[in-house]
Amino acid sequence: MMKAMSTRIERIRCIRTAPAGIRLVAVRIETNQPGLYGLGCATFTQRPLAVVEAVEQYLDPFLRGRDVSEIEDIFRASLMSSYWRNGPVLFNAMSGVDMALWDIKGKCASMPVYDLVGGKCRMSAPVYIHTTGAEIDDVIEAARREMDDGFRHIRMQVEVPGQATYGTESDLHTHQNVDSPTSPQNVFEPNDYARRACALFERARAELGDEVELLHDVHERVPCSLAIQLAKDLEPYRLFFLEDALPPEDIEHFRWLRRHSHIPLAMGELFNNPNEFTPLIKERLIDFIRIHISQIGGFTPALKVAHFCEFFGVRTAWHGPGDLTPIGFAANLALDLACPNFGIQEMSRFNRATEDVFPGCPEVRDGCLWPNGRPGWGVDLDEELAAKFPFPDHPFNGAWPAIRRRDGSVLPP
């Protein structure tokens, strides 16, 4: 009996595009089967060109000829191939490959990826949306508009006057102000921010009522003692979660934060290696894991993280920023649908250009993200159209300019 020819990798390459003005990197694996290819997300928008180099100059020659079905072995071999393991460039490159292989596997099985890993636990994934404004009134009005549009989980950020406040228009100006890193636009003072955040949520809870779930991102910009005080001060406003109260370098301090406040805690978008976050999960020091799945190597390790979290009562809240391709959102959604310990999905809306470049984008409707039910990720990529949205010019190729205190010292971004 003649053995059927296996499906093998013929080429791995990157597609760079920026339909929303944000640098995106997608990976395409071409196979020896006519018309069969897979797509993955490898976006590391602060170092996109380094990821492209890692994929095309290192992983492509290393993996050509491999059987596409051997996803776990390819992940392990790729991880060990650089000898030094860990780091966002390697992991984003590996993620693009890993997701593309899962896309191929789903297409070969004529099934969505979520059906390959146990099937749906829910029909759609509730999302939280971002609201921001220069003044507290602006943020509250923006939240009302989102509530009218069906959203019931809303992240709120407000500017600190004259400062580069994370998640607001003032922070976007910081990205553009790269020629003057010590400009007042790039200044951030933690105490000013903490007072402003408390004022925002006092007003928001009083004016928006109890039915809406409110979220907030500290973005690791405050010292431990202030993070603890902020968490305590925000307790009366019953946040759905407080995100990144501390940086990953200070995870030991989560023990103190947990002792002093019962506010739900979310953490994880800056993690790379499982050794960084397993203590937080095992000791139940966080309530939501917020990993950016391409940052840890793709769908394969993210699925393991989700199952590990389930045993310790930690829910998922995968990172879903604007610098995630719709392919990455589809991978997030597959985990959201298939994992019983799903908590919430962060969502950044797709603009029309993004929907055109990536046909099959998951649909946002009634405050939820919905799958299209197509095989693999269900998302394609129009390369001819993608080429019409090149990376925008930037002197640092996307790197985040320094955020500083008034004394000039650098803070986390």
Element of type H or E holding 131: strand 125-133
pLDDT over 90 at 178, yes or no: no
- Domain extent listing, the chain: 116-376
Q: What is the pLDDT of residues 376-388, one digit of tens each?
A: 999 999 999 999 9
Closest CA to 23 of 350, 323, 321: 323
Residue 335: per-residue pLDDT: 98
Collapse the DSSP code of 11 into the 3-class scheme (helix H, G, I; strand E, B; otherwise coil) and give the result: strand
Catalytic residues: 166, 219
- CA-based end-to-end distance of the chain: 61
Number of H helices, E strands in the chain: 15, 15
Q: What is the pLDDT of residues 52-86, one digit of tens each?
A: 999 999 999 999 999 999 999 999 999 999 998 88
Q: What is the pLDDT of residues 204-236, one digit of tens each?
A: 999 999 999 999 999 999 999 999 999 999 999
pLDDT over 90 at 398, yes or no: no
- What's the CATH number for 116-376? 3.20.20.120
Pairwise CA distance, residues 380 & 326, whole Å: 9
Q: At what angle do helices 71-80 and 299-310 cross, to 10 degrees?
A: 100
pLDDT over 90 at 181, yes or no: no
pLDDT band at 4 (very low <50, low <70, confident <90, very high): low
pLDDT band at 165 (very low <50, low <70, confident <90, very high): confident
Residue 186: per-residue pLDDT: 83
Average pLDDT over residues 1-23: 87
Residue 29: per-residue pLDDT: 98
The mean pLDDT value of the chain amounts to 93
pTM to 2 decimal places: 0.94
pLDDT band at 179 (very low <50, low <70, confident <90, very high): very low
Question: What order of strands is seen across the sheet that includes strand 24-31?
Answer: 9-17, 24-31, 37-41
pLDDT over 90 at 151, yes or no: yes
Q: Are 139 and 158 in contact (CB under 8 A)?
A: yes
